[in-house]
Structure 1
Amino acid sequence: MKQLLEVLGFLAVVQGVAGLVSEFSDWNWGVVQRIGLLDGYEVYGSIALLVLGVALFAVAESQGQRSG
């Protein structure tokens, strides 16, 4: 379970960074840019993904301490 949470956290952080980079540069990649629901709110969606990724890492760390 810890590894799954770490992988999901890593993907969320990568997609959050990709969304912010896409918003402030000419690159056009990342999942945030592809979601029509977030049109006009890409920065907020990217920040939310970064926060989610950090939270997933924290949960994964607490799972590791509990079982070990």
Structure 2
Amino acid sequence: MKKLLEGVGATLLIAGISTIVHECTGWLRLWGIVRYIGFLKGYEIYAGIVLAVMGVAVLIASDSVKGESEK
């Protein structure tokens, strides 16, 4: 369970950071997944920030979950 949470957290963090980088610089055109969601049109930077913060929160929460080797 810990590895799953770490994977989800890292994915959210990378998606958020890549969205912010894409909206600010135009790089990472294929990585910014938020721009494909229609109702977020015009709010891509805010959605990227939310994704990055959620990724950090999930990564922090994964530290409180005991892994299989820690049982």
TM-score over 0.5 for the pair: yes
Which residue number corresponds to residue 41 of structure 2?
39
Mapping of residues 1-68 of structure 1, within 5 Å: 1-27=1-27, 28-29=29-30, 30-64=32-66, 68=70
Q: Which amino acid aligns with 2:39?
A: L
**Structure 1 runs of 4+ off > 4 angstroms?**
none
TM-score (norm. length: structure 2) = 0.85
One-letter amino acid of the structure 2 residue matched with residue 23 of structure 1: E
What SS class does the counterpart of residue 63 from structure 1 fall into?
Answer: coil
Following superposition, the deviation at residue 26 of structure 1 comes to: 2.0
Offset of residue 50 of structure 1: 0.5
Say which SS state the counterpart of residue 65 (structure 2) adopts: helix
Which runs of 5 or more residues in structure 1 are unaligned? Answer: none
TM-score (norm 1): 0.88
1:17-44 alpha-carbon deviations (Å, 9 max, x no partner): 1100110112323211111111000011
CA RMSD of aligned residues (A): 1.6
What is the alpha-carbon distance in structure 1 between the residues aligned to residue 8 and residue 58 of structure 2? 7
Q: Which has the higher helix share?
A: 1
